[in-house]
Structure 1
Amino acid sequence: MTSSLAIRIKLLKLFPDAGYPITTLYAALLVISVLLPAATALATAAVVSRIEAHAGHPGAFSFAAPPLIFLAAALVGAQLVAAANWPVLDVAYSRINATHRERLALLALGTPTITELERPHVQDLIKAASAESTTWVEKTPADGALSQLQLIARYLGVAASALVVARFSWWLVPVIVVPAFVARAVGRREWLSHFRIWRRGIAENRQFRYWGNVATSPAEGKELRIFGLEDWLVARGQRHMRAHLDPTFASHHRVARSKWLIAILIFVPLAVAFTGVGLATAHGHGTLAAETVVLTSAWSVFAAIGGTYDAMAIEGATPVMEAYDELEQLLAARLHSSRSPAPAPAFFSTAAATATATAAPEHRPAPLVRFEGVGFAYPDSTRTILDALSFEIRPGELLAVVGLNGAGKSTMTKILAGLYEPTEGRVTADGVDIRDLGHAAWRRQLSIVFQDFVKYPLTARENVQLGASTGDTHAAQDVLESAARDSGLIDALDRLPLGWDTPLSKSREHGVDLSGGQWQQVVLARALFAVRTGARILVLDEPTAHLDVRTEFEVFQRLADAASEASVVLISHRLSTVRQADRIVLLDAGRIAESGSHDELIARGGRYAEMFAIQAERFVRGYQDVLEQGELP
């Protein structure tokens, strides 16, 4: 757990993120605002003193004109400073938080693999460090940083007001200042206690809000009514609400009771000050001006130091900073433990990729890829996913990888992409370990369609152009059209209101939602676009799961023809669509159980032949669209 002082120092170090001009301007506004009460007290005293000194004189008010003008300027200045403060504060707040979130994103993206990012603990840290506030107790780094600056300014204001009081009556300074700090300490203690109690109940609060959303959701509303779950839902929601709010209400009562003590700590010193100064003035031991300035400045001390928001802001920002620090240590350690890329062959260099960005892909042959005794197990797990896996992906070959759920197919794909690092063995491209090539250089040679592909809320054009392996997002229209045609997307494009420029999200103006099958066609087009712009290895992990068997076969045929210039790895549970592959490997328990062409494997009569027969029978019986790998015996 990071100390409170360390957290405060880290928060103060965030001010460069706001920019020095904005930080300086905001600090200046704060200083002016906290000094104005003291200046106002002095100006008021000067006005009263001038009027008192020239009482009965016909031009008494004329003698008070200079301090009166200063007083008016101070009052107007306070309003102007308050008006200027909010926009400057908003800019500083936005910049600090935006920079923090950008730093977090770069930290997460900086790891060459995703192994650490998949860990639940790391995901929890990312969520905590993102500082996305959903309740009043969740604060951002900007809340913590800016509140510290405000607190420093308020202390300066207290010092200024105390100096004004001391000028006229020094003995009142401890009478006013000490109770003011005691009152702040009491209020701070009670509010921090309340704050922490409320924060401990955030999980219950989220559950309560979740069940509240379920109660008003049309989708869940159908089942709630069919199964008669209305009373159950209300009872469950109320249980979470009471679990959160019962301790919170008890804390509220304690905070309310503490207000009496704070009121006494404020009232008694002010009463002593006001009474003492008033009596002294009445007996000729002071002036009306002195009484005025003491009364005004004494109240300013309590007003300046009384708030406790800074304590809650720092308390709320502390989990964010602690989560970021821990995340930085975990991911930075992972990054530093990664292998540094060795000088890569010319084929994999950035310069080569750039020079050939407009060259015909067929002049750049695919590399020979070898899995050499590759093993993999997740961190903190004893279960082996891949076990001494060895096979080849030959240049220009159409390779199919089949197997049941849990066989290791998706893990194999992630290792090929460098998203996982093998715990033993290695993957080579033309004899060079892909880790020595550098992740960026190696991934430019890959085009992969994952099962859990991303539906970006971009236009159709932008969604497809994301596949450009060379980073060229302005490729010729004929390349886009070719990729769309070969993926089967062209028919859907013709029906889009703005064609290629139609946003693929209802959340955007003129946007549309696509079906699952249409989205798969978009992703396939993206993968083919990557091949057209330089990728040499095309990996398709269950690329057509939302399509029926006949449509899948037609799309697969087009993909095989269109990607003839690259090595193609097809991962599919539908064996009918992989029979035309050059070679089929059956993955079982992280190892290659069988390998050969479709005819060779059928003739062998092994596990592949058994699986094919089962699927063929189910297809004839009409179950082709619901067949899943896990259903195979």
Structure 2
Amino acid sequence: MSTIGLAAQVEATATMRDRIEMLRRLKAAGVGLLTALTALTVLEGLLPATTAVAFATLVSRLDAVVSGDAAVAVTPLLLYLIVVLAGYALGVLREPLRYLAQTRIDGEHRARVAQLTSTSDTVGALERPEVQALIWQTRADPESFIEGTPGPGVLVQLELLGRLLAMVSAGVVLAAYAWWLVPVLVVAGLAAERLYSREAKRRRLVWRRSIAPGMHADVWANAIVSPSEGKEVRVFGLGDWAVGRIQHHLRLAFNPMWTHGRRTLASLWQPALILTVPLLAAYAGVALAAVRGAATVAVAAAVFAASTAVYQALTENPHFTVNTVHCMRAYEQLKVELAAPAPAERVAELPERPVIRFEHVGFQYAGTTRPVLDRIDLEIRPGELLGVVGLNGAGKSTLIRLLARLYEPTAGRLTADGLDLAGVPAEVWRRRLSVVFQDFVRYPLSVADNVALGNGGVPRDQAALTAAAEDAGLTGVLDRLPLGWDTPLSRSRTGGVDLSGGQWQQVVLARALYAVRTGAEILVLDEPTAHLDVRTEFEVFDRLAAHKGDATVVLISHRLSTVRQADRIVLLGDGRITESGRHDELIAHGGAYAEMFALQAERFRRGFDDRLEEGDVR
């Protein structure tokens, strides 16, 4: 379903199914808190009628007060004060409990979204703009008055119980005077509520059009405060320009809201008229009856209070409800978008150290016609070091993402000892893998945490951490850090430091090697030494070859001098494998690989250093 199609559904009035789902989400508040809130809601629902009766009783004693018998009014006055104070106390007690319940409900919703987006089988869907828009809509993290969270709307459903009690009890008071007042006021209240709901839905439609510019504004707002992007913002003098872009996108987002707000203010007379006319008629009728002696002043006072209570009971906050329905439906659509296709076969166990094959595998991104990979046939043998090389855009990183099951092939299949991996749960397969991506993540955690994340599902093994650090050449960096393994790798953390690109690469390589030492069988390295000089790179791969054990290593590198140590090398070109063999065999073949190797060798002889950057602990 398209995002536009979802918008049409979201703006519909909340259905019974939506109401039931909102009531289900009340359990996130907790049994004790929910019980307390329900009790307070019931008491508040009975309060309007109780107040009307107490006030009428007090008024009925005023004649005696005028006659000099003030003692007669003491008891009704005390009862009325008790009711008023009880109403105040209920409100004081209810607000913090309501806030706590809302926080728990919103927190549970955010946890659902985080769980869904972080555990989806592939990342392909996350790269689509419509999915990012759904995440933005369902995140329950409002940054402006036009956004909201599920909590208030969910709690409104509980409050409907209190409002129903208030309307019924206040209706009983009204019916004691004139039964016909009840349907008149109820119909008027429902008509006004209908207008309010329509206005809220129109507001949400306008808000929908603000999503894209709001997301664009977020990008530049985050860039301004980010230490990483902040360097370029300052060096290139982009501050004013970035602020201008933020303002531009915010105007695109909010100007329609201002226009809609002015139109809404101009049309407020409609619900006001619908509410005021029958209410004034009821007031005038009972007042006239009191003047003529057909009704007492006490009855008139009760009717005044009860009439107002009926209107208040009918006024559900549509903004909260529509916000909640919007979040829940966006979340449901997000589940559909991120759901993995049901496998034809599920297996309980994978073979140990299998032969992995790409069988006529093709892949192309959604919305494109040109395949990135086209009928790839590749065998990865247990225990071998396989080098994958090719020009930029040849499909090397896409090949790795397919191997890690972050993408699913659009043609062909991947197998392990003949078993189709499409039938294996992605999380089961990934337990066998350890991957160093070219665009690796620099977590603002300690060195130990950064390395141990290579296998967060097992208890931390300090011996394995130390061995992985030695294999990755990280020991020298650790010796210079102020807190050693406990040093936070971020200037924004107390006692933290920043590392150079090469040092970070050693940390991430240690992360992958730690996974191998704690159970991973396949090590995938996508440009793992691009930030290292040639000597350090040679040392790292010498240690890797010596300590990889039985692990299978798939190595992608732009430096052909690195992959020459591989047991086998494949060259990708135009989405296909164009050459395959050992380094000496490919050189003797005199093809594209030999030409690329000769070109790089000549550049190195001229002193060219192709490290992406240099530096040290700073």
Which category describes the TM-score, using the shorter chain as reference length? 0.7 to 0.9
Please state how far the C-alpha of 1:610 moved relative to its aligned partner: 0.6
In structure 1, C-alpha distance between the alignment counterparts of 2:31 and 2:489, rounded to whole Å? 41
Q: 2:441 aligns with which of 454, 471, 474?
A: 454
Please state how far the C-alpha of 1:438 moved relative to its aligned partner: 4.8
Equivalent position of 2:432 in the other structure: 445
Equivalent position of 1:341 in the other structure: 346
Equivalent position of 1:223 in the other structure: 236
Q: 1:538 aligns with which of 509, 523, 536?
A: 523
In structure 2, C-alpha distance between the alignment counterparts of 1:404 and 1:590, rounded to whole Å? 11
Equivalent position of 2:93 in the other structure: 84
Please state how far the C-alpha of 1:542 moved relative to its aligned partner: 0.6
Q: Which string of whole-angstrom CA distances, capped at 9 and with x for unpartnered residues, describes residues 287-310 of structure 1?
A: 23222222222233344445x6x2
In structure 1, C-alpha distance between the alignment counterparts of 2:193 and 2:411, rounded to whole Å? 60
Equivalent position of 1:358 in the other structure: none
Equivalent position of 2:590 in the other structure: 605
In structure 1, C-alpha distance between the alignment counterparts of 2:249 and 2:122, rounded to whole Å? 39
Q: Indicate the SS of the match to 1:594.
A: strand
In structure 2, C-alpha distance between the alignment counterparts of 1:123 and 1:498, rounded to whole Å? 39
Letter matched to residue 149 of structure 1:
L
**Change over 3 Å in CA distance of 1:222–1:484 after alignment to 2:** closer
Letter matched to residue 398 of structure 2:
T
In structure 1, C-alpha distance between the alignment counterparts of 2:116 and 2:254, rounded to whole Å? 37
Letter matched to residue 604 of structure 1:
H
Please state how far the C-alpha of 1:205 moved relative to its aligned partner: 5.0
**Change over 3 Å in CA distance of 1:262–1:531 after alignment to 2:** closer
Equivalent position of 1:47 in the other structure: 58
Q: 2:572 aligns with which of 575, 587, 591?
A: 587
Matches within 5 A, 1:166-315: 166-174=175-183, 176-205=185-214, 207=216, 219-220=232-233, 222-224=235-237, 240=249, 242-306=251-315, 310-315=317-322
Q: Which string of whole-angstrom CA distances, capped at 9 and with x for unpartnered residues, describes residues 570-595 of structure 1?
A: 11011122222222221223332222
In structure 1, C-alpha distance between the alignment counterparts of 2:214 and 2:29, rounded to whole Å? 33
Letter matched to residue 319 of structure 2:
M
**Change over 3 Å in CA distance of 1:81–1:575 after alignment to 2:** same
In structure 1, C-alpha distance between the alignment counterparts of 2:223 and 2:115, rounded to whole Å? 35
Equivalent position of 1:465 in the other structure: 452
In structure 2, C-alpha distance between the alignment counterparts of 1:205 and 1:444, rounded to whole Å? 38
In structure 2, C-alpha distance between the alignment counterparts of 1:182 and 1:433, rounded to whole Å? 60
- Provide TM-score, normalisation by structure 1: 0.84
Equivalent position of 2:133 in the other structure: 124
In structure 1, C-alpha distance between the alignment counterparts of 2:131 and 2:419, rounded to whole Å? 32
Please state how far the C-alpha of 1:53 moved relative to its aligned partner: 5.3
Please state how far the C-alpha of 1:527 moved relative to its aligned partner: 0.9
Matches within 5 A, 1:474-553: 474-475=460-461, 477-553=462-538
Letter matched to residue 479 of structure 1:
A
Q: Indicate the SS of the match to 1:32.
A: helix
**Change over 3 Å in CA distance of 1:196–1:372 after alignment to 2:** closer
Q: Is there any run of 5+ residues in structure 1 with no aligned partner, and where?
A: 349-365, 629-633
Please state how far the C-alpha of 1:541 moved relative to its aligned partner: 0.9
After the TM superposition, which of the residue ranges 600-609 and 460-469 deviates more from structure 2? 460-469
Q: 2:600 aligns with which of 591, 594, 615?
A: 615
Are positions 1:37 and 2:34 aligned together?
A: no
The answer as to whether partners of 2:45 and 2:161 remain within 8 angstroms in 1 is no
- Provide TM-score, normalisation by structure 2: 0.86
In structure 2, C-alpha distance between the alignment counterparts of 1:468 and 1:215, rounded to whole Å? 34
The answer as to whether partners of 1:104 and 1:324 remain within 8 angstroms in 2 is yes
Q: Indicate the SS of the match to 2:105.
A: helix
In structure 2, C-alpha distance between the alignment counterparts of 1:252 and 1:83, rounded to whole Å? 32
In structure 2, C-alpha distance between the alignment counterparts of 1:10 and 1:341, rounded to whole Å? 32
Q: 1:323 aligns with which of 311, 321, 330?
A: 330
Q: Indicate the SS of the match to 1:13.
A: helix
Letter matched to residue 588 of structure 2:
A
The answer as to whether partners of 2:472 and 2:506 remain within 8 angstroms in 1 is yes
In structure 2, C-alpha distance between the alignment counterparts of 1:233 and 1:118, rounded to whole Å? 24
Equivalent position of 2:362 in the other structure: 375
In structure 2, C-alpha distance between the alignment counterparts of 1:624 and 1:562, rounded to whole Å? 28
**Change over 3 Å in CA distance of 1:105–1:335 after alignment to 2:** farther
Please state how far the C-alpha of 1:374 moved relative to its aligned partner: 3.3
In structure 1, C-alpha distance between the alignment counterparts of 2:36 and 2:516, rounded to whole Å? 53
In structure 2, C-alpha distance between the alignment counterparts of 1:478 and 1:397, rounded to whole Å? 26
Equivalent position of 1:420 in the other structure: 407
**Change over 3 Å in CA distance of 1:218–1:389 after alignment to 2:** closer
Are positions 1:408 and 2:395 aligned together?
A: yes
Q: Which string of whole-angstrom CA distances, capped at 9 and with x for unpartnered residues, describes residues 11-43 of structure 1?
A: 333223333443333233223223212211211
After the TM superposition, which of the residue ranges 210-219 and 198-207 deviates more from structure 2? 210-219
Letter matched to residue 449 of structure 2:
E
Q: Indicate the SS of the match to 2:408.
A: coil
The answer as to whether partners of 1:183 and 1:265 remain within 8 angstroms in 2 is yes
Q: 1:157 aligns with which of 136, 146, 166?
A: 166
Equivalent position of 1:99 in the other structure: 108
In structure 2, C-alpha distance between the alignment counterparts of 1:197 and 1:438, rounded to whole Å? 41
In structure 1, C-alpha distance between the alignment counterparts of 2:367 and 2:195, rounded to whole Å? 46
Equivalent position of 2:556 in the other structure: 571
The answer as to whether partners of 1:190 and 1:258 remain within 8 angstroms in 2 is no
In structure 1, C-alpha distance between the alignment counterparts of 2:420 and 2:157, rounded to whole Å? 51
The answer as to whether partners of 1:112 and 1:439 remain within 8 angstroms in 2 is yes
Q: Which string of whole-angstrom CA distances, capped at 9 and with x for unpartnered residues, describes residues 193-221 of structure 1?
A: 34533443343455567667889977435
In structure 2, C-alpha distance between the alignment counterparts of 1:610 and 1:111, rounded to whole Å? 42
Q: Is there any run of 5+ residues in structure 2 with no aligned partner, and where?
A: 1-5, 614-618
In structure 2, C-alpha distance between the alignment counterparts of 1:212 and 1:110, rounded to whole Å? 28
User: May I ask how many residue pairs the two structures share in their alignment?
Assistant: 598
RMSD after superposition: 3.3
Letter matched to residue 461 of structure 1:
A
Q: Which string of whole-angstrom CA distances, capped at 9 and with x for unpartnered residues, describes residues 460-489 of structure 1?
A: 2122112238x32221x2221111122122
The answer as to whether partners of 2:121 and 2:405 remain within 8 angstroms in 1 is yes
Q: 1:384 aligns with which of 358, 364, 371?
A: 371
In structure 1, C-alpha distance between the alignment counterparts of 2:217 and 2:429, rounded to whole Å? 47
Percent identity between the two aligned chains: 48
Q: Indicate the SS of the match to 1:391.
A: strand
Equivalent position of 1:74 in the other structure: 83
In structure 1, C-alpha distance between the alignment counterparts of 2:27 and 2:430, rounded to whole Å? 36
In structure 2, C-alpha distance between the alignment counterparts of 1:567 and 1:211, rounded to whole Å? 42
The answer as to whether partners of 1:169 and 1:294 remain within 8 angstroms in 2 is no
In structure 2, C-alpha distance between the alignment counterparts of 1:235 and 1:430, rounded to whole Å? 57
Please state how far the C-alpha of 1:524 moved relative to its aligned partner: 0.7
In structure 1, C-alpha distance between the alignment counterparts of 2:603 and 2:390, rounded to whole Å? 17
Q: Which string of whole-angstrom CA distances, capped at 9 and with x for unpartnered residues, describes residues 171-191 of structure 1?
A: 544554444444444444445
Please state how far the C-alpha of 1:400 moved relative to its aligned partner: 1.3
The answer as to whether partners of 1:583 and 1:596 remain within 8 angstroms in 2 is yes
In structure 1, C-alpha distance between the alignment counterparts of 2:247 and 2:377, rounded to whole Å? 56
